[in-house]
Amino acid sequence: MDLPGHGASPGPALDDVARLGQLAGELIDFLAPGGAVVVGHSLGGAIALWLALERPACVRGLVLVGTGGRLRVRADLLAGFERAAPGAGERFVELSFGPAADRRTLARGRRRLGAPPAVTAADLRAADRFDVLERLGAVRAPTVAVGGADDRLTPPKYSRTLALDIPGADGVIVPGAGHMVMMEAPEAVTAAVRAVVYRSNSRSLG
């Protein structure tokens, strides 16, 4: 799914997780009326959690990658994008990867994170305002939380909290990976997705 203002979707970008979640729920209703396993990274993880809490029929399973029940954005990073400051994008890439990331992965990251500054600023505002930390116990979907051990934007304690506070959730901390763990360690994220798909299918059959 391309959020408004991202990829092939027209803008403007939205800076509110609830509004983004409503759009995601409409897409799931259209594509998968019986619900779907929802995989979300960072802000996408916030949207996935919103769906699990507000539209639980949409969510058969959750894979939460590099995210948390409450997200706090570095003030300097947000200010840099709101001012469209030179170097803000490169700083974002630098913070998004672990020290083991190679040049090819970093180059792919620059392309993936290359949205206009106003779009990234809206994403960061939405993330910064998000907080469902006290509601995690109400999530009922099978869940795996995946975090990078070297994540400097959503530290691994965020993933550990999700795994502890969501009933029945599992947690995976990937050594050497940063915030873009799905690019740095795709096998670990793929394994988490498979595990949740298996659990969600088993629950529906049972």
Q: Which residues of 30-67 are buried (b: 16+ CB within 10 A; e: fewer)?
A: eeeeebbbbbbbbbbbbbbbbbbbebeebbbbbbbbbb
For the segment(s) 17-205, the CATH number from 3.40.640.10, 3.40.190.10, 3.40.367.20, 3.40.50.1820 is 3.40.50.1820
The conformation of residue 170, written as its DSSP 8-state character, comes to: E
Q: Which residues contact 106 (CB under 8 A, 6 or more apart)?
A: 93, 97
The pLDDT > 70 percentage for the chain reads: 99
Q: What are residue 99's phi and psi, to 5 degrees?
A: -65, -20
Domain extents in the chain: 17-205
Beta strands in 102-157 (DSSP E): 143-148
Give the tens place of pLDDT for each residue, 93-143.
999 999 989 889 988 888 888 789 999 999 999 999 999 999 999 999 999
Beta strands in the chain (DSSP E): 36-41, 59-65, 143-148, 170-174
Q: Please state, as a whole number, how many other Cβ atoms lie within 10 Å of the Cβ of residue 135.
A: 15
Give the tens place of pLDDT for each residue, 61-79.
999 999 999 999 999 999 9
